[in-house]
Structure 1
Amino acid sequence: MNTVETVASATHNLQPLISDFGLILITAALALLLFKKIKQPLVLGYLVAGFLAGPHFLFFPTVKEVSSVEVWAEIGVIFLLFSLGLEFSFKKLMKVGGTASITAVTQIVTMIAIGYLVGQWIGWKQMDSIFLGVILSISSTTIILKTFDELGVKAQKFAGIVVGSLIVQDIVAILMMVLLSTIAVSQQFSGGELLQSVLKLVFFLTIWFVAGIFFIPTLLKKAKNILTDEMLLIISLALCLMMVILADNVGFSPALGAFIMGSIIAETTQAEHIEHLVKPVKDLFGAVFFVSVGMLINPETLYEYALPVAILTFVVILGQSISSTIGALISGQPLKQSVQTGMSLSQIGEFSFIIATLGMTLNVTSDFLYPIVVAVSAVTTFTTPFMVKFATPFSEFLERKLPRRWIKRIARYSANAQSIKLVTTWQVVIRAYMVQIVLHTIIITAIILLSSKMILPLVEHSKFGNAIAALITIIAISPFLWALSLRRVAVKEVQSLLDDRKYRAPIIMMILFRIGLAIFYIGFLLNIFFSPGIAFIALICAIAIYYFFPKKLHEQYLKIENHFLKNLNDREVAKVDRRYANLTPWDGHMTTFEIAKESNIAGKTLEELRIREQMGINVAFIKRGEIMVKIPNRKERLFPGDEICIIGTDAQVEDFKKYLHQNEIEVPDAVKEDQISLQQLELKKENEFIGKSIGQSQLREKTNGMVVGIERNGKRLLNPESNLVLEKNDILWVVGDKKLMSALFKE
């Protein structure tokens, strides 16, 4: 076969793929235009486009190669979760606090139980019911954030709780995917296997996160000056796919790897830039994913299972609203914020699709489950904006209708719960020791296993190969062994407990346990590389060397730790984001706004603006570039581009938002660029302005402008005074109305 025939054959093979891809994008584009016009969620547009292009709608061109679409859909899931990871970050998870965590966990546990029971009540298989429970428990981050943007409620207090809950839900969804995979493979509920899966997940998450934060931000910072947008995009996607491969190789979902890499990159200073670059790729393949979901909508199946769809839609809207509201109340939130939070979380979305896809891929769920989930998601996506809108009126209705003693008890519980922040000394010490033990145990174990898998096979056949490999490994883990066994943590708290005879013995036992654990790891390492006898002798030598060089190990560990913490905190140092910070127990919370360049309040002091007197809000800080003005005084002046953080209730924040909009200068839709211009005027012999001062010449009045400069005898004079006398051959630079200047200069 010659080259021409080969190319022709390849083109023929590619033709269905290209035509299918074109059909998907054309259908999606038309559906999106329609749904944008009628102001409905775009996800619904993708689902409708998929239905139209799918095999179940015969009055429209149909996709031929469904298997190719499935491959693109898998890529779409990867980039969708990579993008979610970029918005996630593990530091956000640590900061969401008890309120969001309790709300999310209450919702998830309740909905899993309800979903499972409903599935069993309908008569579905046990595995269908298990997957259904998990599917119904996860709200949609994409839909909620889009709704908040469209309704302009992001600045309200409940929005911060919702965002925090979504962060917790994302990580729980990842955990659920791992557990469901384990259950699907074993087909039984083995507690040991589930525990093993959880420990495996924790192990790899810790290693990937620690190693990723240690190396990736450093790589991006070192290459910052040579990275173009194209290179940064390629490197980001390469890192994403590298983690996808790693996750797949250790038995996890590829989507998990994409999510983890996104969350690692989210801690870098270039996270926003990378998110901006990745967005078109995510949007493209994400669209293919949602379209592929729509292609599975079978009208006959939906007609057959119309009753389960209606029941599950009711369960999602009512169940998620009530469970989230109860969770927020338990965490100590007032009734209004709790109801707003609950009603905002009343839908399912992208993670539900992904979990349903997992069930199909593993061949453990029935064919009807997926289209039912899609239908429920479509309905709840449509109802979400209305649920958010009616949350406030409904909370006010409840406050009027519920017994007064209930309202008082809720308010009292909220105030008391928010004020309980006492952490005992013993809890601080236990937490610090657990972090030291778990973190360094995982790191040491990972290094030893990596060495035994990669270094030992390379050198085991040489004369001193095992000794060299063991020495390299011990050097690598030695700083972490020191931190595991001898590093002092929570020093003041430990000392106070040692002074108390009651706690002295437990503290000493914990210290000895850490030392014993370090010795065990040295023995474990040496036993891999040597026979037991040689390993014991080497253990004694290693402990002796380890004992005589604690300062060196301390210094080395501090270097590693400081590098890690610097990478971890670089983004926060570069940009302070307090949009979701809360002050409790009051309804007041902190919200950040930016002073627009066109704002009339720019240039004025806080005393002149009288913000506190007029609206009852306080200014927490003003961020100006790299400068942070904390608790500014009345004389502090606002400048264009300043970020101003205010403290107030939802109503006060909304008033301030309106105040900012009212003070922005309205810019016409069509601005004539040539209305004002800068022109030259050369004063010749016959010019009327010669011998007059600038003020006497009335140039300002005649041009609606001003003289900004004069060239005289080759010298330039900027911003001349009005009493400067004009001379022959002067060249005036005048800025003003173009028409007036043209008419004047022609005279």
Structure 2
Amino acid sequence: MIALNAAAETSHHLEPLISDLGLILMTAGIAVLLFKKMKQPLVLGYLIAGFLAGNHFDFFPSVTDMKSVEVWAEIGVIFLLFSLGLEFSFKKLMKVGGTSSITAITQILFMVVIGYFIGQWMGWGKMDSIFLGATLSISSTTIIIRAFDELGVKGKKFVGIVFGALIVEDIVAILMMVLLATVAVSDQVSGAALLQSVLKLVFFLIIWFLGGIFIIPTILKKAKHLLTDEMLLIISLALCLMMVMFAANVGFSPALGAFIMGSIIAETTQAEKIEHLIQPVKDLFGAVFFVSVGMLINPETLVTYALPVAIITLVTIFGKAFSSATGALLSGQPLRQSVQTGMSLAQIGEFSFIIATLGMSLKVTSDFLYPIIVAVSAITTFTTPFLIKYSDPFSQYLEEKLPKKWVKNINRYSLNAQAIKSVSTWQKVLNTYIIQIVLNTIIIAAIILLSSKFVAPLVADTRFGNTLAALITLVIIAPFLWALSLRRVAVEEVELLWEERKYRGALLMMILIRMSLGLFFIGFLLNIFFSPLVAFVALIIAIVAYQIFPKKLNEQYHKIENHFLKNFNDRENKKIDRRYANLMPWDGHMSIFEIGKESNLAGKTLQELRIREQLGINIAYIRRGEVTIPIPTKTERLFPGDEICVIGTDAQVTEFTKYLNQNETETAKSVEESQIVLRQLEVADEEFIQKSIGQFRTKTNGMVVGIERNGNRILNPESHLVLEQNDIIWVVGDKKRMNELMKKA
């Protein structure tokens, strides 16, 4: 009886949860189908589905328990940010050029300020105005990528600037969420509180990132042979939620923890697989999140605030287009690319919803702000494809209508700015010293703080406990203390500067600062466990020990550093590992066929056979007895007994086999070790940048059978296609020549 009552009670609590989730997914599914049919962004469909399933629309069934929906939505934000982190990667941020950084920061600062003043002008409260500026400053990665795909503009120059700006905006949005939470809690804009929050965020970001890269890829590699897809998915979600808990415990948003863990996993060799496995989870909870956003749309509120919606929409479109274009111009881009960049970034999206959600959860923003932001996002989602499409004609129109003197000055400034690329020797030394000091200082401080919090209380009442705890901590931080205070960095540059007398004082000062920091941390640690007098004596002993064992400390530090760098670069190294060149994005591989004695193909030229045009197959070489003809031209003929090595996908090779069998040709053989090889190269050598594929073939005698650019993959590219920096190409050619090209790449 008790069991039946318990079951009935459970069913009573479960029923609204299940029915509400079913309603959300049903409306979302219908919306997805309709908007896919209409070729509109799915996010917009989710918003409308939420509006229909919400309590403000009476013609459809409505959810009964909004609290459970809010829980689903919070989980949706976590997985949405985790997925964004998987696509983000700190390495991408490091590779973002000055152009994208200046563009993004100019746009963000302008929109935060203009948004705040627009809110104040409309009579809104201070917090509403601050959150308005923040939501208007972040563009939508999802909407922009979809628009680029639909318009087929991914190969254009301005697209790289836009993607770089979006990366910078993502990290700034995370920082902004922390700062907004600080402002909301203190209810005032305190410079000291903001600085403390920024320093705290930087401290934890670096610790989490360094620790995560050092540990997580190692675990995944060690357990690789044990991990099934199911286990990898579970472990990934567990790591995500673990970091969510860490972030919440130190006072940050759970979404921040999810984003950080995603960016850590993005550096592992399993990143693509995890991203693929996590996609259904992200889609499910992401749909719930966007539908829950739509549920908060109140038609009465939108009618009441129709004028603010119109004003904010216009400010968003024109303000973001103007500020982004200005930022691109300031960074040295030509007028055309700057205008295209600005008009591409003129919308708001997922991060704006998350920031607006933060304001609601902290109860510092008014009820009208959220639906207004959703409405502005919906409108700018529609306008974005048109703005991108007409950005090129509009830039040409501007070039014609602006005063010739202005256009000439802009072009001159662009040429001069792009010519200033060199970094002085002093800047290199200064950057290296700063990185060395900051990273090692944070690592040492984190280890000491952990020791004082968890180790010191355990040994407080034991006789030699303090000595043992201090010794263990010193041993752990010893390599980092040595690197902070004594390790030589940028050796060649420092020697060059030392020859110039004016730099010697600055160099000596930096060395003194590093050694002083090392002494400070040793003293700080010893003071935790001992009295000042004992700490001073121990300090002298520790300094002597560090002087006696520099070689050992050097070896230990380099071992730690090399392990970190190996984990950090594993994904990239695997991506360009030439041994796996047969694992092309389109599953291309090499197969060998023999032309039979009675084959109908014998005696015909490759131009007459049109094999590539008909079947998409490339011929890597023809072997005729002892003679090998690499990368045969279209005038080359096939003869009985020839062995031909072809490249194609599984499906293409299957079709080619049928084609050859119809012409009485021998079946395929496995590829032997040959002097003609298929290699994957990254275009980095200036000799090939901005050269056509035809020119590349002339210079290298290598045939380009595939190219990947900005995530877009092309099989059998045309010979007139121009190569750009960071393109990944698949080339067939002489083994020795390909190896030489690999060294340059």
Report whether the alignment pairs 1:439 with 2:439.
yes
Partner of 1:638: 703
Q: Which residue of 1 aligns with 2:607?
A: none
Give the 3 Å change call, closer, same or farther, for CA 393–626 of structure 1 in structure 2: closer
Please, what is the CA RMSD of the aligned residues? 2.4
Aligned partners of 1:225, 1:281: CA distance in 2, in Å? 24
Preserved contact between residue 24 and residue 50 of structure 1 (Cα < 8 Å): yes
Could you report, residue by residue, the CA deviation over 1:564-610 in whole angstroms, capped at 9, with x for unpaired residues?
01111111111149xxxxxxxxxxxxxx9979784255548779489
Question: What displacement does 1:155 show?
Answer: 1.8
Matched, 1:201 2:218: no
Rounded Cα–Cα distance in structure 2 between residues aligned with 1:637 and 1:295: 57
The alpha-carbon deviation at position 333 of structure 1 amounts to: 0.9
Report the AA paired with residue 548 of structure 1: I
Matching residue of 1:669: none
Q: Distance in 1 between matches of 2:366 and 2:518?
A: 50
For 1:688, the equivalent position in structure 2 comes to none
TM score, norm. by length of structure 1: 0.81
In structure 2, relative to structure 1, the CA distance for the partners of 1:102 and 1:637 (3 Å cut) is: same
Paired position in structure 1 for 2:616: 599
Name the larger-Rg structure: 1
Residues 101 and 165, structure 2, Cα contact 8 Å, conserved in 1: yes
CA contact (8 A) 2:576 2:680 kept: no
Superposition deviation, residue 628 in structure 1: 7.0
Question: Shift in Å at residue 12 of structure 1?
Answer: 2.0
Matched residue, 2:534: 534
- Matched residue, 1:100: 100
SS in 1 for 2:703: coil
In 1: Cα distance, 2:718 partner to 2:386 partner? 20
Residue identity matched to 2:441: T
Give the match for residue 10 of structure 2: 10
Q: Distance in 2 between matches of 1:341 and 1:624?
A: 37
Give the counterpart letter for 1:427 in structure 2.
Q
Corresponding residue for residue 449 of structure 2:
449
Q: Against the structure 1 CA distance between its residues 624 and 112, is the aligned structure 2 distance closer, same or farther, given a 3 Å change threshold?
A: farther
The unaligned stretches of length 5 or more in structure 2 are: 578-583, 590-614, 622-629, 636-675, 689-695, 711-716, 724-745
- State percent identity of aligned pairs: 68
Residues 342, 378 of structure 1: alpha-carbon distance in 2 compared, 3 angstrom cutoff: same
Can you list the C-alpha shifts for 1:60-118, whole angstroms capped at 9, x where unaligned? Answer: 00000100000010000000000000000111001011000000001000001110111
Q: Which residue of 2 aligns with 1:337?
A: 337
CA distance in 1, matches of 2:552, 2:415: 50
Contact 2:697 2:704 (8 Å CA) reproduced? no
Counterpart Cα distance in 2 of 1:627 and 1:28: 43
Following the alignment from structure 1 to structure 2, what is the Cα–Cα distance between the partners of residues 639 and 324? 36
Measure the CA separation in 2 of the matches of 1:524 and 1:10.
55
CA-to-partner distance for each residue in 1:452-498, whole Å, 9 max, x for gaps? 11122222222211111111100000000000001111111211222
Q: Which residues of 2 match residues 483-562 of structure 1 at below 5 A?
A: 483-562=483-562
AA of the residue aligned to 1:199: L
The 3-state SS of whatever aligns with 1:432 is: helix
| Aligned: 1:77 with 2:94 | no
1:43 and 2:43 aligned: yes
Corresponding residue of 1:19: 19
- 2:433, 2:547 → 1: CA distance? 21
Q: Specify the alignment match of 2:323 in structure 1.
A: 323
1:298-447 correspondence runs (5 A): 298-447=298-447
Q: For residues 722 and 426 of structure 2, what CA distance do their matches in structure 1 show?
A: 49
Sort the Cα spacing of 1:571 and 1:521 in 2 relative to 1 into closer, same or farther, 3 A.
Answer: same
Change (3 A) 1:16 1:314: same
Structure 1 residue 537, shift from structure 2 partner = 1.1
Return the offset for 1:510. Answer: 1.1
Deviation for aligned residue 1:9: 2.0
For residue 67 of structure 1, what is the aligned residue in structure 2? Answer: 67
Cα–Cα, structure 1 residues 28 and 483, in superposed 2: closer, same or farther, change >3 Å?
Answer: same
**What residue is the counterpart of 1:282 in the other structure?**
282
1:430-462 deviations in whole A, cap 9, x for unaligned? Answer: 111111111100000000001111122222222
1:599 partner letter: G
Distance 1:264 1:544, change over 3 A: same
| Shift, 1:638, TM fit | 3.4
Distance 1:542 1:181 in 2: 43
Letter in 1 for 2:195: L
| SS of aligned partner of 1:421 | coil
Residues 134 and 176, structure 2, Cα contact 8 Å, conserved in 1: yes
TM-score (norm. length: structure 2): 0.81
CA distance in 2, matches of 1:373, 1:654: 45
2:502, 2:94 → 1: CA distance?
A: 32
More off after superposition, 496-505 vs 192-201: 496-505
Match of 2:656 in 1: none
Any idea what SS the aligned residue of 1:431 has? helix
**Contact 1:593 / 1:643 at 8 angstroms: preserved in 2?**
no
How far apart, in 2, do the equivalents of 1:329 and 1:481 lie? 44
Matches of 1:409 and 1:132, distance apart in 2: 36
Matches within 5 A, 1:232-311: 232-311=232-311
Is the CA contact 2:139–2:166 (under 8 Å) kept in the aligned structure 1?
yes
Quick one: structure 1 residues 48 and 657, their matched pair in 2 at CA, closer, same or farther if it must change by over 3 Å? farther
Residues in 2 aligned to 1:363 and 1:628: alpha-carbon distance in whole angstroms: 50
Contact 2:324 2:345 in 1 (8 A): yes
How far does residue 645 in structure 1 lie from its aligned partner after superposition?
Answer: 7.3
Question: What is the match of residue 477 of structure 2?
Answer: 477
**Aligned-partner Cα distance in 2 for 1:625–1:143:** 35
Say if 1:474 and 1:149 are closer, same or farther in 2 by CA, change over 3 A.
same
